[in-house]
């Protein structure tokens, strides 16, 4: 699980197709090659946006704000016309000179992702900012088209999709495709210097890490019954934070950054997790999330990472990551993602008079630097793949979430052997299809029941729970 280990041997073509056989279009990879990795002769990198919500719109804005060569947005796709239209208006207001997205290149529908990518040339870039459940489907087609990729986190929601993304990442590397994952804290120059110092022993041996995202309700984590008049599938995709199949829920979507930056400082990923959480005074909210999550991860050497998550109003808030060493304390992040205001302290208390290091200049915005780094890698043809790291961070979220939702102490290997996939047919969804999870007669969705349902995170409403003796 170490992040410092050498890359795993690359899978053979037969191994890849066997592992990723359920990936849409996998068979189309056979015999396919990427003619080039640079954009066209005019040096403009063309971009397509797939998923036009707030994060996708922000990523497209960052793409068009890079300083290292021209970038142009040429296609957009979403399953909802109103979201695409709103995103287009917002971007066109700021970047009209860097956009060429006429109505015929604004695609709506569950197959719109293909149409948008079909507008690009091999060596161009596609942005994936849809709910994470669709990530493997879209990534498969991008590889088939020979496109570089920027994909938002998390990039998987359960064990099977995490393994699928890792195998797809290997295939993308074989084809020299550059792939960025939106864990932008890894591109924070302040955190990068801190990581170097931690890895060089400035806080000594790591003995404990603590990470917190204990804040009020976030995103669409809390939802009420679907009274919109729209289909339940549309409702769930619009409110994807509320549904485990779509996003991995509040745990995966909101805690992944803190988990990942703690693993970065340690230099490896944990091997085991246990935890708990609960739902409190939920009024008439019907989503699948717990309000609180407390998870203890264990690294291979026995060191612990304590990850705390909460989405409740009126409580003490903290949004930060801390790493304790035998020589001192590192503050990785302070309040949200940016600015980090990282520090190293003498001793174990973050007292101002005990600061022994802080970043010596203004922090650049990591949402922009992650794009600057990707475009530089494309233009200079540098190896660049964040898939394995992104998939591992996503997988560890799933493992910790599973531990909390089932009441089990579980290793990563044990979790992968369970092999439960929330939405195995997500590539077949369309407007007239039923969603992967359905409400009961009262409009309520199934929720986890730790200690009762322990082989998966919830039972469908069509299954009854056996009484516990």
Percentage of residues in the chain with pLDDT exceeding 70?
A: 90
Task: State the pLDDT confidence band at 23, using cuts at 50, 70 and 90.
Answer: very low
Task: State the pLDDT confidence band at 398, using cuts at 50, 70 and 90.
Answer: very high
Total domains in the chain come to 2
Q: How many residues appear in the chain?
A: 469
Query: What CA–CA distance (Å, rounded) separates 164 from 147?
Result: 18
pLDDT higher than 50, residue 9: no
Omega prior to 339 cis, within 30 of 0: yes
Report the CATH number at residue 318: 3.30.360.10
Report the CATH number at residue 68: 3.40.50.720
Burial of 105 (0-12, 13-18, 19+ CB in 10 A): middle
Omega prior to 32 cis, within 30 of 0: no
DSSP string, 23-77: STTGGGGTT---S-SS--TT-PEEEEEE--SHHHHHHHHHHTT-SSS-EEEEEEE
Range(s) of the domain holding residue 278: 188-364+385-469
**pLDDT at residue 75, as a whole number:** 98
Q: Does 196 lie in the same domain as 171?
A: no
* pTM to 2 decimal places: 0.90
Q: Does 212 lie in the same domain as 109?
A: no
Q: Does 289 lie in the same domain as 167?
A: no
pLDDT higher than 70, residue 18: no
Domain membership flag for residue 3: no
More confident residue, 462 or 240: 240
Q: Does 329 lie in the same domain as 406?
A: yes
Q: Does 430 lie in the same domain as 292?
A: yes
Taking all residues of the chain, what is their mean pLDDT, rounded to a whole number? 91
Q: Does 410 lie in the same domain as 322?
A: yes
The CB-side HSE value for 441 (13 A sphere, CA atoms) comes to: 0
Domain membership flag for residue 151: yes
Q: Does 168 lie in the same domain as 263?
A: no
Q: Does 231 lie in the same domain as 138?
A: no
Domain membership flag for residue 216: yes
Give per-residue pLDDT as tens, 261-286: 999 999 999 999 999 999 998 889 99
Question: Beta partners for 224?
Answer: 285
Neighbours of 335 (CB within 10 A): 12
Q: Does 431 lie in the same domain as 415?
A: yes
Give per-residue pLDDT as tens, 294-323: 999 999 999 999 999 999 999 999 999 999
Q: Does 144 lie in the same domain as 116?
A: yes
**pLDDT at residue 217, as a whole number:** 87
Q: Does 267 lie in the same domain as 211?
A: yes
Q: Does 267 lie in the same domain as 139?
A: no
Task: State the pLDDT confidence band at 40, using cuts at 50, 70 and 90.
Answer: very low
Domain membership flag for residue 5: no
Give per-residue pLDDT as tens, 101-155: 999 999 999 999 999 999 999 999 999 999 999 999 999 999 999 999 999 999 9
Give per-residue pLDDT as tens, 343-369: 999 999 999 999 999 999 999 999 999
Query: What CA–CA distance (Å, rounded) separates 273 from 287?
Result: 24
Domain membership flag for residue 8: no
């Amino acid at each position: 699980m170490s992040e410092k280990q050498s890359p795993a041997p690359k899978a053979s073509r037969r191994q890849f197709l066997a592992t990723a056989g359920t990936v849409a279009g996998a068979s189309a990879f056979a015999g396919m090659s990427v003619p080039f990795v640079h954009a066209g002769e005019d040096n403009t990198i063309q971009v397509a946006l797939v998923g036009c919500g707030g994060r996708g719109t922000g990523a497209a804005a960052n793409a068009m704000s890079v300083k290292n060569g021209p970038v142009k947005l040429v296609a957009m796709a979403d399953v909802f016309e109103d979201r695409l239209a709103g995103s287009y208006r917002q971007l066109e207001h700021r970047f009209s000179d860097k956009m060429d997205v006429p109505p015929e290149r604004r695609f709506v529908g569950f197959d719109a992702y293909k149409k948008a990518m079909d507008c690009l040339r091999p060596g161009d870039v596609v942005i994936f900012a849809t709910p994470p459940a669709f990530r493997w489907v879209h990534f498969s087609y991008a590889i088939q088209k020979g496109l570089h990729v920027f994909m938002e986190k998390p990039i998987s929601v359960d064990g099977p999709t995490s393994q699928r993304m890792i195998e797809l990442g290997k295939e993308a590397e074989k084809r020299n495709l550059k792939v960025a994952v939106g864990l932008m804290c890894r591109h924070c120059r302040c955190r990068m210097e801190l990581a170097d110092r931690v890895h060089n022993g400035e806080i000594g041996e790591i003995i404990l890490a603590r990470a917190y995202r204990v804040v009020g309700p976030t995103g669409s984590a809390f939802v009420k019954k679907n009274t919109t008049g729209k289909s339940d599938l549309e409702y769930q995709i619009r409110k994807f934070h509320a549904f485990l199949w779509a996003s991995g829920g509040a745990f995966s979507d909101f805690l992944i950054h803190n988990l990942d930056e703690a693993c970065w400082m340690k230099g490896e990923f944990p091997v085991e997790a246990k935890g708990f959480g609960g739902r409190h005074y939920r009024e008439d909210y019907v989503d699948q999330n717990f309000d609180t999550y407390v998870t203890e991860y264990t690294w291979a050497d026995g060191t612990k990472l304590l990850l705390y998550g909460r989405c409740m109003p009126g409580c003490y808030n903290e949004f930060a990551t801390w790493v304790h060493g035998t020589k001192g304390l590192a503050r990785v992040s302070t309040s949200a993602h940016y600015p980090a205001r990282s520090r190293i302290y003498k001793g174990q208390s973050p007292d101002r008079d005990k600061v022994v290091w802080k970043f010596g200049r203004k922090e650049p915005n990591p949402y922009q630097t992650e794009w600057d780094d990707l475009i530089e890698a494309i233009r200079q043809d540098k190896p660049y793949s964040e898939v394995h790291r992104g998939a591992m961070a996503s997988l560890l979220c799933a493992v910790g979430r599973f531990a909390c939702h089932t009441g089990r102490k579980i290793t990563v290997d044990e979790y992968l052997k369970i092999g439960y996939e929330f939405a195995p047919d997500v590539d077949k969804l369309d407007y007239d299809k039923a969603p992967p999870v359905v409400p009961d007669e009262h409009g309520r969705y199934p929720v986890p029941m730790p200690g009762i349902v322990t082989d998966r995170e919830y039972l469908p409403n069509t299954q009854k729970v056996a009484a516990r003796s």
